[in-house]
Structure 1
Amino acid sequence: MKQAIATYVRVVDRLSDWVGIVAMYLIFLMIGILLMDAVTRNVIDIPVHWAIEAAQFTLTAYYFMGGAVTLKNDNHVRMDLFYESLSRRGKARMDLITMVCLAFYLSVLLFGSISSLNYAIETGERRFSMWNPSMIPIKSLMVACIVLMLLQTVSLVFKHWATLREEAPA
């Protein structure tokens, strides 16, 4: 059982890192889109109507994709009123409580995002704009990234549980 948990933690952590690296490069794509928009609109006077929305979708994908690696690397915002004064095991207890709350929140979010994706698929939902892009790709990415965050949350639960049991983390 320990080996299965260690393998799960290792695979989910690697997947989170990989998705996080892809997300990191999306910033460069967004910068390129916005630069192209500025040049085409201001220099050659040919506005590209889809550029701002494409940049918005890219930024949205960046946020979704960065969630799991942010959890894994413990780079999220935390209220450190008394957390830093806790022992290593005390921090693990506090983090386990937080992970339960996070798992509940992500489960509700996943339920809503699946419902939203189903609606987009059934109705062929499109954004009301001149470009009129489909909403299915970004909503699919949202569902996949929430699932990855849930998987990463379970991985963190295993790590904090190992800390409480004074075992070496996976």
Structure 2
Amino acid sequence: MQGVMRGYIRAVDSVNHRIGRIAMYGIFVLMGILLWSSISKTFFLPSLWTLEMAQFVMVGYYILGGPYSIQLGSNVRMDLLYGEWSIRRKAWFDLLTVCFLIFYLCVLLYGAVSSTAYSLGYWKTEPFSYLFGIVTGSEEIGRLERSSSAWRPYMWPIKVVMIVGFLLMLLQCVSELCKDVLRLKGEEI
């Protein structure tokens, strides 16, 4: 069992490390978009797409970088008490809190899947079966959702990024749970 846990930890940490290292450069993309927005508003006609595109890039940056942040332990934590605790006590506390985080991420993932199914035009109540092609028979399919702004981009690409980000964060939290279990058993990680 410990070998399976170690393999899972290595695989998930490796994937999230790579994606996080790529996602961290999204801040430069965001800066470029906001710089162009400032230049175009000052010297040219204002671009319609810059504000909403900056929001989309920020969502990708934040959500895809979240698992990497959890992996590095750079997430926000109350170190007033936590910093003085022993490794074993920290592991017990992390084990408890990561269970709450996993539940919360499951709720967010369900909401993201439902929202993505809706943005693709599905109006019924089984978003997972729709996205994974499980439901057979007649389907209620509508139009693809677009933003209500003047630019009117499709919404499904950013919602797919949200699904991927929440899924990666959920996998990373399970990896952290496995690390805590190994720490409590006295294993070296």
For the aligned pair, the TM-score class normalised by the smaller chain equals over 0.9
Cα distance in structure 2, aligned partners of 1:157 and 1:72? 11
Question: TM-score with structure 1 length normalisation?
Answer: 0.94
Give the Å deviation of 1:70: 1.0
Q: More helix by proportion, 1 or 2?
A: 1
Alignment of 1:83-98 (within 5 A): 83-98=82-97
Partner of 1:165: 185
Superposition CA RMSD, Å: 1.2
Question: What is the SS of the residue equivalent to 1:85?
Answer: coil
5 Å-filtered alignment, 1:5-154, equals 5-43=5-43, 45-122=44-121, 123-154=143-174
Give the Cα–Cα distance (whole angstroms) in 1 for the partners of residues 31 and 86 of structure 2: 43
Name the SS of the counterpart of 2:76 in structure 1: coil
How many pairs are equivalent? Answer: 168
List alignment gaps of at least 5 residues for structure 2: 122-142
Moved more, 83-92 or 1-10: 1-10
Q: Distance in 1 between matches of 2:79 and 2:30?
A: 33
Deviation at 1:64, TM superposition (A): 0.7
Q: Following the alignment from structure 1 to structure 2, what is the Cα–Cα distance between the partners of residues 11 and 76?
A: 21
Per the TM alignment, residue 2 of structure 1 is displaced from its structure 2 partner at its CA by 2.8
- What is the one-letter code of the residue matched to 1:150? L
* SS at 2:74 equivalent: coil
Counterparts of 1:32 and 1:60, CA distance in 2 = 16
CA distance in 2, matches of 1:59, 1:141: 11
Instruction: Find the residue that maps to 1:63 and give its secondary structure.
Output: helix
Kindly report structure 1 stretches of 4+ aligned residues shifted beyond 4 Å.
none
Q: Distance in 2 between the 1:60 and 1:11 partners?
A: 25
State the alpha-carbon separation in 2 of the partners of residues 165 and 146 from structure 1.
Answer: 29
